[in-house]
Structures are given as C-alpha cells and as structure tokens.
Amino acid sequence: MIEIFDSKEQSIAQLTQTNTAETSDYAQVVQEIIDTVRQNGDAALIDYSAKFDQAIVTELKVTDAEIEAALAQVNPDFLKVLETAKNNIAEFHEKQVSQGFMMTRKGAVMGQRVIPLAKVGIYVPGGTAAYPSTVLMNAVPAKIAGVKKIVLVTPPLQDGSVNPAILAAAKVAGVDEIYRVGGAQAVAALAYGTESVPKVDKIVGPGNIYVAAAKRLVYGKVDIDMIAGPSDVLIVADETANPVTLAADMLAQAEHDINAQAILVTTNRDIAEKTAVEVERQTALLPRKAIIEQSLANNGKIILVSSLEEAIAAANEVAPEHLELCVAEPFAWLDQVENAGSVFLGHNTPEVLGDYLAGPNHTLPTEGTARFYSPLSVDDFVKHSQYLYYGEAAMRAAADDVILFAETEGLGGHANSIRLRKGE
C-alpha cells in the first residue's frame, strides 16, 4: 500500500525527493552515439534501430503510402477525436501569437521582428507507450508560429513500421516529414543531419533518459525546448475531495513509467487513508499494474499537512509539472500558486483532460523546473530580431553620450566609430 507521511515529521523537500537518474550519468555513452551518427549517417541510424529497438529498417523516411495506410487502420472515431483535439489546441495557442513592434524617438527608428524558425524537429516517444497526443501538442503550435518545415522522428516497431496512431496524428497536425528512428540517435540526426534526415534549428518533445541526455549534449548546435525528466503530478486535496478519483489521478500519472512521481498532499487524514486503499484496489485492475507498482514504490506518496496554506506552500516548493487543486474553492487559491507547469482546478478537471483534449499544452517542465521553465508554446517556435535606424541629426544628438560611455569602458575604437561620423 502507498505510504502516508506527516509533514510535521519530515520536510517537504525530503518527502518529495525523487529516485531518478541524472542525464550526466549517460553522457559518455550518448556522446558516442552522437559521434557515430555524425560519422556514419543513415547507416548508423539503421544499425542503432536494430540494436536498441530490434527493428528491421531499410528506409528511414515514412512514405505517403504508409501514412494513407495508417489512416485506413485507425478507428474513424479516433480520427474525429484527433481533429477535435487539434482544433482545441489551435484555439488556445492562437492566443499566444506575439507581434513585432516599431517605435520612434527623436529621429531614430527601432523595433523588433518576430520570425518563425525555418525547421523544427519533433521527438515522439515509442517504447512502452505511443503518444499521438504529443504529436499534436508539439506540431500545432509550430504550425501556428509559421515554421516552414516540421520533421517528426519516432522509434520504429520491430517490423520497421510506425505506430498508425502517430502517423494519423502527424497527418492531422500537418507534419511535413516523418522518419522512423528513435533514441539518442534520432536527436543526433536532427542536430547534425544525415543523408536522409534534415538538420533542424530546434528539437522539441519528450523522451527517455537517453533522449534527454542527447538533447542536453546537442544544445548550442541547435535549440531545444527543455530537458524533460520523468512526468509528475502533485494533487492538493481538502475534505471535499473524492478518494476514488484522487487515486485514479495518481495512478494515471504512475502508469507513465517506473520513475514517474504521483503525490497527494491533503489536509484530511480520512481522505488520505481512503485514497491509499483506493490506490491499492484500482492498481490491481489496470493493465500497466507492474509499472504502476514500481513507480509508486519509487516516488509515490501521500502527505498530510495542517492547512491548505501549507499544501500550496508545499506545491510551490516542489514546482510540479502538473498541479491538481481538488478543493472546494480552487480559484481562491490559484493566485497563490507560483511554481507549476499546468494547474487543474476543481474536482472535475483531472490532468488527463489537459493531456489530450482541452487545449493547453501538455509539454511541461518536469522535476521542479517549473520554477524557471514554461509550458511549450508558440513562442518556442519563433525568434526575435531587432533593428535600429538613426538619421544624421539623431546620431549627432546622441554622439557625445556614446563617446563618453565608450571612453569610460576604455574602448577607443568604439568612441572613434561615432566621433568620425561627427567629423571630429
């Protein structure tokens, strides 16, 4: 049974410490994979697919015929759900679009331009579960931003094919090219390019520890969204919460993988004890029971606190990827939340609504990085460029101030650059 802890006995930092690996632990082996891909290109990708995925791959790029065949295999009702989700995600992310600006000051003109990235690579996990939702959450904002080419990589199945649901989601989202390659080797291919896979400007999307380590190592050669670790949820619950649904929400998180973290923080001992019973009961009924049990053993906890103020303070300290406020008046507490990737308000808003359909992005900062990272957004797929124009009169008006600044910093060449324009 999942353990119940009292915050009076241990600090929140101690109670919520995770048992997960660091990307630095994998840096050497991942760097070797990156170097091999840089040297051997497509051949390395095919060899690694056989080694790591036990997959027979002869052609890396997924053909249009394969995509059409996948659409025929997918449940037509699911295709409708994909369209609904895409529309909801688009509606939300269209609100994020930012505009450039121009301003004038005494004969000077200056401004900022918002420019879409040319090429973006999206990593979509395969492994123990496939995520067509990840395709939508990454590709839709990229399309809204105006990215010229969206390239998707995803691990192949053992027969060399790609999960049909992923291909269907890619078609719905407007992905331009798809390649059957996963792992650190896929990140290397996107960062440096191979004979088949184009080099991109930015890599986004979640993956396992090897993918995360590879993204860290290629950062600087290309941009990345974030270093995503295991997924996590923290649920704040008062006496009005339902232990059945609290347990269900914890298990929905725990089934991701054995390193996922599911934490309940509650003010009510009865809620804590009944939720613990429900966790055990529901776990036995779920298909990913073995993963859930290991996840809960590693990182699952129920924590008793004395007040909702203490619960919110705990949430801010943990900075969870997902924060559920299963309390009577959730909006009354929202402004006190400082650190959370995405907040789910009330008893009828489980995190899974955000995972799939609602519209806000599900690519979120993990492992406490919500203290300084933000959810994936349209802003991740654009860059900003500044411009500046001074007419002669404006330049002369500013010249003495610039010269004084430059000479104070000991940069005579800088001072000369404007002094000569004054005719001195």
Q: Which residues are annotated as a binding site for Zn(2+)?
A: 253, 256, 355, 414
The answer to whether the beta carbons of residues 7 and 303 sit under 8 Å apart is yes
The active-site residue out of 278, 310, 322, 367 is 322
Interacting residues of 25 by C-beta distance below 8 A, sequence separation 6+:
none
Binding site members for NAD(+): 123, 185, 208
Binding site members for substrate: 231, 253, 256, 322, 355, 409, 414
Q: In terms of Cα–Cα distance, which of 287, 283, 295 is closest to 254?
A: 295
Binding site members: 123, 185, 208, 231, 253, 256, 322, 355, 409, 414
How many angstroms separate the Cα of 138 from the Cα of each of 122, 146, 167, 197? 7, 13, 14, 19
Distance CA 349, CA 233 (A): 13
The answer to whether the beta carbons of residues 8 and 314 sit under 8 Å apart is no
Q: For residues 357-393, b (16+ Cβ closer than 10 Å) or e, as one string?
A: ebbbbbbbbbbbbbeebebbbbbbbbeeeeeeebeee
The active-site residue out of 310, 321, 324, 351 is 321
Is 384 a residue of the active site?
A: no
The angle, 0 to 180 degrees and rounded to 10, between the axes of the packed helices 132-145 and 76-94 is: 40
Which pair of tokens denotes residue 210? Answer: 């090897």
Give the residue numbers annotated as catalytic, written as ranges.
321-322
